[in-house]
Structure formats: structure tokens, C-alpha cells
Amino acid sequence: EVQLVESGGGLVQPGGSLRLSCSASGFTFSSSAMHWVRQAPGKGLEYVSGINDNGHTTHYADSVKGRFTIYRDDSKNTVYLQMTSLRTEDTAVYHCVKDRSGHYAFDYWAQGTLVTVSS
Amino acid sequence: QSALTQPASVSGSPGQSITISCTGTSSDVGGSKLVSWYQQHPGKAPKLMIYDVSNRPSGVSNRFSASKSGNTAFLTIFGLQSEDEADYYCSSFTASSTWVFGGGTMLTVL
């Protein structure tokens, strides 16, 4: 069974930093691209970032480019999202998502971790 | 990258069929075979319902069907059931090598 467990969310002041972690199990992590998708309170889904299976290719939404960094540690079956220069508009539930390999779709979603950016 | 356009809400009675549209541009929906649909119940994580425009993952009911015409994708749910009441989102891989979602459609089963 695929399991994705996130950690690292919380309250941070504008301009601050936070690192999200997503620990994966139940599938061959090293063969899977991974993504982060966020959802602001009461709003829709927004793509944030993704990383391919070998870690050499990353994708970022324009809204986070230059501030967020995605990376992975296959020895720990974990993908990370390092978030810096956080803004109030980054407040959202952040979902770690497994890629449906070869199909550019998101086939398993973690429950999400809440990031609140507020002074 | 602008969000794909979906109706804010649709509704139908049990047993009826409904269709949700998802309109983009030639840089995303119109130029891509990589359109997917997600169902999200309140307080839950989204669930993949359709990928590659019209393919259903294993375990998804065949009451869910999808297609695409030009810059618009469609999700049809046949034989509405109460458990289908949820938010639905479309998504497309884009010419900019990123993904874009629709704004979401709230389905109410009357």
C-alpha cells in the first residue's frame, strides 16, 4: 500500500523559512517522480513543484520560483520542499504527491500539512 | 500560467448524468494528451479519477468518463450517486513543462 507521510508544517513569520518532508513507502520511491501541490484555505489546488525520479529535473510554479527548492534523498525514501522568503500568500495545506509514472498525473496524495505564514 | 476554467458548481439528481467542463488554451489542454481529473471530498486528499484525457485508474467506477475537444476537456458522471458529491478538479501538463489546475467545480447531488 502506498503511504506518504508529511511533516514540517507550522506557523512562520513572513520572510521566514520552513522545510517540508514527505516520507514514502509501499512503492519503488527511486523510480518515481514526486510533487508538491498546495491548497489555500477554501481555495483550489495549485501546483507548486516537482522532481523527476533521478533528481536531475525539477519544476516550479512561477509563484515560488527562486524561493522554494525541491530535492530528494532516495536512501531515506523522502522528498523535501525547502521554502524560503515565505509570504502570507503561501499559507496553504501542502500535499506531497506521487507521480503516475509516464502519465504526468498525480496518483497518490498525502493528507497534507498546513503551512501558515503570519506575523 | 493561468488556471484552467471550470464552472464553479454543477448539480444533478441521483441517477442523472452531469458533465463538467475544463477550458484551457492550446498551450495546455488543447495541446496535451496529459489531462487528468481529481475528486476531493471535504477534508480529504484529492483522488485521481482520470488520466491521459480519458483513462480510468484501477478501482475508479466506469460511471466516470472523460473526453477532450479542442481546448476543452470534459468529465461526465453517469448514474449520479450521493457519494459523488465532492469537488472536482481538472489538470493539464503544459507547454511550459509544468502543470496547471482548474479552479474546481463543486458537485451537488440533489
Q: Using a CB-CB distance cutoff of 8 angstroms, which residues of chain A are in contact with residue B52?
A: 103, 105
How open is the CA angle A6-B83-B3, to the nearest 5 degrees? 60
pLDDT in tens, B6-52: 999 999 999 999 999 999 999 999 988 999 999 999 999 999 999 99
Task: Kindly report the length of chain B.
Answer: 110
Interface with A, mutate which of B99, B100, B106 (most A CBs under 10 A): B99
Q: Using a CB-CB distance cutoff of 8 angstroms, which residues of chain A are in contact with residue B98?
A: 47, 59-61
- Identity of the residue in A62, A95, A107 whose CB atom sits nearest the CB atom of B1: A62
- DSSP-based three-state secondary structure for A14: coil
pLDDT in tens, A62-74: 999 999 999 999 9
Q: Are strands B47-50 and B64-69 parallel, antiparallel or unpaired?
A: unpaired
Predicted local confidence at residue A111, as pLDDT: 94
Task: Output DSSP code: residue B5.
Answer: B
Do residues A12 and A119 lie in contact, with contact meaning Cβ atoms separated by under 8 Å? Answer: no
Predicted local confidence at residue A103, as pLDDT: 83
Identify the segments of chain A with pLDDT beneath 70. Answer: none
Predicted local confidence at residue A74, as pLDDT: 97
Predicted local confidence at residue B2, as pLDDT: 80
Which amino acid is present at A13? Q
Q: Does B8 touch chain A (CB under 8 A)?
A: no
**Residue B54 pLDDT more than 90?**
yes
Cα gap A41→B22, rounded to integer Å: 22
Q: Using a CB-CB distance cutoff of 8 angstroms, which residues of chain A are in contact with residue B38?
A: 45, 106
Q: Which residues of chain A have a Cβ shorter than 8 Å from any chain B Cβ?
A: 35, 37, 44-47, 50, 59-62, 95, 100, 103-112
**Residue B1 pLDDT more than 90?**
no
Cα gap B83→A38, rounded to integer Å: 24
